[in-house]
Amino acid sequence: MIEWNDSLLIGHDVIDSQHKELVGLLNGLEASTGRGLMTKETRKALEFMSAYAEKHFKTEELLMHDCGYPYRAIHAVDHITFVARQMAFASAVNNHDKDTANDIIAFLESWIKHHISVEDMEFGRWLKAHPPC
Ligand SMILES: [Fe+2]
């Protein structure tokens, strides 16, 4: 469980609201595991992650491109990792791996702590330092 608070804000409204959605997914999944997470719920979470990656990474990468963010290529590698993990989880669910829901939770927690709170935050700081972006 990660509580959404101002320390997670990078300072860009659209990106912040998308990040909040991912924290919501994580917390929803964690709350559900207490009741024994069903494959159906795990698949739904993975569908969310797939759509999220498609929409959110496009938002970030387009903004990085338009603003000339110098670290966009290395940042995009992280995004590719997210997509690869999502696909690996989908395959694990199809193979009836019972640990997948917990693996997704661990991954999302790590992603929020290490990607959003570090890499995206750095981009947010860079944006502030380079108006009007
Ligand atoms: Fe990012």
7 in a structural domain: no
31 in a structural domain: no
28 in a structural domain: no
44: CA distance to ligand 1 center in Å? 22
Burial (0-12, 13-18, 19+ Cβ within 10 Å), 56: buried
Tell me the mean pLDDT in the region 117-132: 96
82: CA distance to ligand 1 center in Å? 10
83 in a structural domain: yes
Task: State the total domains in the chain.
Answer: 1
118 in a structural domain: yes
32 in a structural domain: no
Q: Which residues contact 128 (CB under 8 A, 6 or more apart)?
A: 11
Higher pLDDT, 22 or 38: 22
100: CA distance to ligand 1 center in Å? 23
pLDDT at 57: 98
What residues flank ion ligand 1 with Cβ within 5 A?
A: 60, 120
131: CA distance to ligand 1 center in Å? 20
Q: How confident is the model at residue 37 (pLDDT cuts 50, 70, 90)?
A: low
17 in a structural domain: no
| pLDDT of 34 higher than 80 | no
SS3 35: coil
